[in-house]
Amino acid sequence: MSDDPETLRQIEELAADDRPLLVLDVDDVVLEFIRPFPKFLERRGLHLTLTSFRLTGNIAEKASGRLVEQPEVTALLDEFFHSQADWQTVTEGAAEALALFGDRVEIVMLTAMFHRHRAARRAHLDALGLPYPLLSSPPKWPRGRRWHGCAAAAAVRSLSSTTSPTTSSRRASRCRTPISFT
């Protein structure tokens, strides 16, 4: 379970639900991130180098080549997420895929952003026709912790299965509804 009090509060707000739980990351799963972010940087005289899997150490000033330090990266992400409606669009096919689930699953969106951006993210998702519950968690929040009684990674169950669900995760037995893709 998260140690963050605000994330815990958000989890408690979720309705009790017996349907299978589908937890989706927002950035680069439901909303585009890696396509608009370099454009955002370009407008600020910066570019993304992609020499590693982190933003810190991969954003450089175009003119000097100086790598942007962590505090500057945090400020850039704050600015990007503050104006996310100007930059982020629905990932191709995401809205249609979610609509296929209909009422058969409980869909929850998870975003690793500071809580101060949650209202803007919520408004943006609503404007895009994605009214699913949203959990924000600080970017340093450890992934894979127990959440809602199960590991998020084991939270997908075959929608067509009428027999007991199977799973590749040993921790799935703690889930409300263990899930697998078959």
Burial of 159 (0-12, 13-18, 19+ CB in 10 A): middle
Q: Can you tell me the distance from the alpha carbon of 57 to that of 119, in angstroms, rounded to the nearest whole number?
A: 29
Complete domains list, the chain, with CATH: 5-32+90-174 (3.40.50), 36-87 (no CATH)
What does the mean pLDDT of the chain come to? 78
Distance, in Å, from the CA atom of 108 to the CA atom of 58, rounded to the nearest integer, reads: 31
Q: Which residues pair with 53 in a beta bridge?
A: none
pLDDT for the residue 140 = 59
**Global model pTM greater than 0.75:** no
- Find tokens 């439901």 and name the residue: 30
How far, CA to CA in Å, does 163 sit from each of 146, 149, 151, 156? 25, 22, 21, 15
Instruction: List, for residues 2-44, the tens digit of each pLDDT value.
Output: 678 888 888 888 877 888 989 999 999 999 999 999 999 999 9
Phi, psi of 123 (to 5 degrees): -60, -40
Query: What pLDDT score was predicted for residue 159?
Result: 30
Q: Give the span between the Cα atoms of 117 and 138, in whole angstroms.
A: 10
The confidence score (pLDDT) of residue 2 equals 60
Instruction: Name the more confident of 138 and 172.
Output: 138
What are 98-147's pLDDT values in tens digits? 999 978 999 999 988 888 999 999 999 999 999 999 999 887 544 444 44
Over residues 76-95, the pLDDT tens digits come to 999 999 999 999 999 999 99
